[in-house]
């Protein structure tokens, strides 16, 4: 049963309403503020954490509740999303979380997720007599479920694990504390694309707990064992891949078009970021992104100006910017954007994914035109496009999915100039690239296949070996 309860309310939970909700545990519990005040915690007098409540987020982007909580949770108007997380260490904590969320929706209107968790009564939590205070340096991670010297374990049981504010902070603080983060779920749970991107780029692992087969890695299928305070691949038997990792019968036909785009802009006061993301979205879907945020759920309308302001503020603190963008509800599309300042300039690293059902076709014929627009107007350095078999809703299930197959590679004009036009033009014998943009300073677009031919990987590797030493 889920440990997370979410209140979706049409009115903002103010301080008085939140305090009323937090009194669901009675007067003997204390309230702590962590994460710079972004998270409120209900604890017993002896320090046992029971419930944490994230700061409410105002969702102005249609479709986010349905995307992350399932088709039965649809809100047509903007709503306030207040996430309440219960500790798994105390049996009564989930009832307390349900009462906190239920009180919010009773006072403000709206609904809770899951609906059956809502209640409004006072939940009595027996004194444990044992303080369960995690290491102080973990900060906001103090509502994780299990701690060891090497790891932090968070248990989720919801339709989609998203890259929430809590999870992004969890990744940051566990990495800073030189621990590994394990996100433990049931086989029914899926990862959002931003959550998968976040976990793949960190010392973290998606651990699936199967009721009959034990633990396995949700991305690789490796059978896992708990040893010495951490999860590690099993070495005590001949089976290395869990049987549960095999794809279910009758699946297939859905596709994902994946773009990895890198731009490098000269740093100046008039620079506006986000143009490359918007150009790609417009070219491939017919409309710009619907919204963006620094975490999921995505809650504010798309604004390159606001994205740029955030990146400038983070740069002053010598920190990179990581953001998520989503599209309209009728066309599954999602992207992560990482912005950094380097010696070359201001770099955007964009991972854009678009989903297609079995009766739809990915518009790969538009890629050369998009590549030219990015090269001419948005300081493109490189773009790799791929096709893969995968869910059209762009989530990742805990079973095998075939790797993506390259479709094309584009080198921006500065990259081509650094390599030498003649050298770059001859990089793939028998497959002449298309010149894009000005003839005196062209970009080069290399078609690699139609997304169905695995030999495209050989062509991409050949290009990489030919060009990499000089990039």
The pLDDT, as a whole number, for residue 250 is 65
215/231 Cα distance (integer angstroms): 9
- Residue recorded with tokens 């496009």: 385
Q: Is the peptide bond before 130 cis (omega within 30 degrees of 0)?
A: no
Distance CA(66)–CA(329), nearest Å, equals 9
Cα–Cα distance between 205 and 217 in angstroms, integer?
A: 7
Whole-prediction pTM: 0.90
- pLDDT for res 354: 98
Beta strands in 357-464 (DSSP E): 380-389, 405-411, 434-436, 443-447
CB-based contact 152:174 (threshold 8 Å): yes
pLDDT for 138 equals 39
pLDDT of residue 131: 37
* Spans in the chain with pLDDT lower than 50: 1-2, 129-143, 470
In terms of DSSP H, where are the helices of 128-249? Answer: 165-176, 193-200
| The predicted structure's pLDDT at residue 237 | 64
What's residue 128's pLDDT?
A: 54
- pLDDT of amino acid 40: 81
Nearest C-alpha neighbor of 125 from the set 216, 53, 29, 255: 29
């Amino acid at each position: 049963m889920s440990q997370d309860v979410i209140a979706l309310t049409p009115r903002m939970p103010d301080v008085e309403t939140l305090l009323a909700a937090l009194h669901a545990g009675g007067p003997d519990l204390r309230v702590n503020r962590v994460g710079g005040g972004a998270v409120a915690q209900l604890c017993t007098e002896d320090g046992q954490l029971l419930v944490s409540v994230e700061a409410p987020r105002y969702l102005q982007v249609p479709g986010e509740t349905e995307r992350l909580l399932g088709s039965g949770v649809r809100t047509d108007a903007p709503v306030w999303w207040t996430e309440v997380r219960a500790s798994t260490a105390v049996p009564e904590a989930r009832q307390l979380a349900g009462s906190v969320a239920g009180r919010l929706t009773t006072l403000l209107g709206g609904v809770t997720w899951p609906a059956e968790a809502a209640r409004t009564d006072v939940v009595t939590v027996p004194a444990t007599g044992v303080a369960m205070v995690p290491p102080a340096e973990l900060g906001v991670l103090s509502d994780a479920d299990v701690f060891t010297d090497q790891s932090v374990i968070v248990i989720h049981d919801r339709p989609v694990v998203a890259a929430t504010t809590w999870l992004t902070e969890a990744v940051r603080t566990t990495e800073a504390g030189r621990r590994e983060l394990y996100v433990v779920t049931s086989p029914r749970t899926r990862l959002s694309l931003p959550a998968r991107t976040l976990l793949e780029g960190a010392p973290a692992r998606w651990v699936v707990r199967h009721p009959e087969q034990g633990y396995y890695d949700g991305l690789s299928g490796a059978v896992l064992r708990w040893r010495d305070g951490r999860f590690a691949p099993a070495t005590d038997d001949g089976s290395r891949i869990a049987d549960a990792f095999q794809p279910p019968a009758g699946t297939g036909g859905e596709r994902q078009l994946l773009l990895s785009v890198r731009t490098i802009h000269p740093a100046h006061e008039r620079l506006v970021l986000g143009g490359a993301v918007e150009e790609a979205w417009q070219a491939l879907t017919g409309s710009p992104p619907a919204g963006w945020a620094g975490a999921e759920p995505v809650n504010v309308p798309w604004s390159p100006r606001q994205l740029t302001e955030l990146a400038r503020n983070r740069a002053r603190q010598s920190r990179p910017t990581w953001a998520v963008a989503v599209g309209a509800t009728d066309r599954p599309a999602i992207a992560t954007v990482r912005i950094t300042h380097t010696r070359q300039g201001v770099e955007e690293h964009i991972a854009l994914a678009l989903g297609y059902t079995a009766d739809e076709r990915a518009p790969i014929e538009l890629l050369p035109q998009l590549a030219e627009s990015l090269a001419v107007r948005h300081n493109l350095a490189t773009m790799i496009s791929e096709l893969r078999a995968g869910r059209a809703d762009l989530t990742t299930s805990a079973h095998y999915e075939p790797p993506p197959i390259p479709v094309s590679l584009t080198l921006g004009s500065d990259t081509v100039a650094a390599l030498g036009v003649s050298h770059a033009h001859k990089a793939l014998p028998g497959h002449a690239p298309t010149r894009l943009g000005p003839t005196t300073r062209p970009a080069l677009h290399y078609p690699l296949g139609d997304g169905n031919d695995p030999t495209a990987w050989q062509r991409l590797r050949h290009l990489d070996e030919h060009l990499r030493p000089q990039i």
